[in-house]
Structure 1
Amino acid sequence: MKTKILIVLALLAFGSNVTTQAQKLKKFGSSVEKKIGPKTIKVPYTDVVSYLGYAAPGNEDEVKDGKKFYYIYVWIPAVAPELGVRMMSPVGKTKVKGATLSQAYQDNAGSKDYFDTYVTLERSDIISKDNISEDAVKSANWVTLERNDDSSEMPKQPSGSSYNSLLRYKSQASDPLKALTVGLYRIGFTTYKTGEVKGTFLAQVAAPIKLPGVVMAKTIADLKKGL
């Protein structure tokens, strides 16, 4: 009996440790690497904008290739050499300074639901704040610049799997379709596996230079309020 109790306690401790690990978020490193002693690290991004949200079945923005996609719209106010995007689910007890807290997140902050994140970075052909509207966004041309499913750089989920996402995209100034110019972008997210997207999430957009005026919002109406 004593042996069984010890095994149960060990399993509980392991589960607690996995949950704790899932809540630790390191600094968001850029693609630039720097050697410090025997270690090589990615130099942290200078500018990081964070958004805390909650995704639920039925609230998807679009069904694309058979998958339910959700979007977070991002206004980028200046030319950037690189953008990084990462997403973690669930948020758990992770504290993020200066993050935008959506109402959906505040209403569901205690939820233990999470999903296998899959993210895309997309750029539209809208380059002026004055041209942003619901209709304009629906008819805009969207180009997928980069995508990511699983990243070993991200914290593991409570299941112990590395199913959180991170991508970095360098501007290709010689190609107008692939350059990081001023304009309206969006983070698309879904789940790679079959199933519903449900749970709290932290989404971050980062750059290696200061970009004053970056705005992230779940809806175009909320985005316009922040511009």
Structure 2
Amino acid sequence: MKSKILILVVILAFGSNLNVQAQKLKKFGSSIEKKIGPKTIKVPYTDVVSYMGYAAPGNEDEVKDGKKFYYIYVWIPAVAPEIGVRMMSPVGKTKIKKATKSAAYTENAKSTDYFDTYITLERSDITSKDNISEDAVKSANWVTLDRNDDSSEMPKQPSGSGYNSLLRYKSEASDPLKALTVGLYRIGFTTYKTGEVKGTFLAEVAAPIKLPGVVMAKTIEDLKKGL
């Protein structure tokens, strides 16, 4: 009997360890590949800005195509050749140095809720910090540059499903609508499945060059405070 109990404890401990490992976040690599010996790796982004938040039903910013969308606003201060965006839910025990933590995240950091992330990267026609306001953002023209639902590069969720998201968008300098210029961007996120978006999340925006002055915030008010 004791041996059976011991085996059960070992199995539970092993399974718990696998779950923790599944939530481990790897370095954020760009699309730029480099060969080191027999291996080809993606060169890590040199500039990564992280934001930890908590999404809850009723706090969505917009209902679009029948889905409740939440937005994180991002000020990009310089032209970039590529921007990477990734999102993971839940945050769990993941620790990120210098990550911006929203008040909602701090209050709900121990929550075990999470959601099937679906992200978009959008660019507005606002190109000056002086023109950023609540009204200007509402009336701005927003262009969706890229989107992602499930990424095999991201950690699996506690359920074992690979429902976290990652995208890399390369600037198309020849097309004004698809170029990564100075301006106001936003990360849109929702859940791919029908249902509410609820749980902690980690969102990161990255570039292969240094972009001093990148600001991420859940609201325009908070964004302006960081500019």
What range describes the TM-score normalised by the shorter chain of this pair? over 0.9
Change (3 A) 1:56 1:18: farther
Q: Secondary structure at the match of 2:94?
A: coil
Cα distance in 2 for partners of 1:134, 1:60 equals 16
Provide the aligned length of Structure 1 versus Structure 2.
227
Q: Does 1:46 align with 2:49?
A: no
- The residue number in structure 2 matching 1:114 is 114
Give how far 1:13 is off: 2.9
Cα distance in 1 for partners of 2:170, 2:99 equals 24
Identity percentage over the alignment? 89
Q: Secondary structure at the match of 1:118?
A: strand
- The correspondence of residues 56-95 of structure 1 with structure 2, limited to 5 A, is 56-95=56-95
Cα distance in 2 for partners of 1:65, 1:11 equals 44
- The residue number in structure 2 matching 1:159 is 159
Q: Name the stretch that deviates more: 158-167 or 21-30.
A: 21-30
Cα pair 1:85 1:167 within 8 Å, conserved? yes
Cα pair 1:90 1:112 within 8 Å, conserved? yes
Which consecutive unaligned segments of at least 5 residues does structure 2 have? none
Cα pair 1:123 1:185 within 8 Å, conserved? yes
Which consecutive unaligned segments of at least 5 residues does structure 1 have? none
How big is each residue's C-alpha offset from its partner over 1:14-72, in whole Å with a ceiling of 9 and x where there is no partner?
54124312331111000001111121110000100000000011110001111110000
- The residue number in structure 2 matching 1:220 is 220
Q: Secondary structure at the match of 1:136?
A: helix
Q: Does 1:97 align with 2:105?
A: no
- The residue number in structure 2 matching 1:178 is 178
Q: Secondary structure at the match of 1:157?
A: coil
Cα distance in 2 for partners of 1:62, 1:30 equals 30
Cα distance in 2 for partners of 1:69, 1:63 equals 6
How big is each residue's C-alpha offset from its partner over 1:117-146, in whole Å with a ceiling of 9 and x where there is no partner?
110000000001111010110111100000
Q: Aligned partner of 1:215: which letter?
A: V
User: What value does the CA root-mean-square deviation take over the aligned residues?
Assistant: 1.4
Q: Aligned partner of 2:110: which letter?
A: G
Q: Does 1:34 align with 2:34?
A: yes
Change (3 A) 1:195 1:3: farther
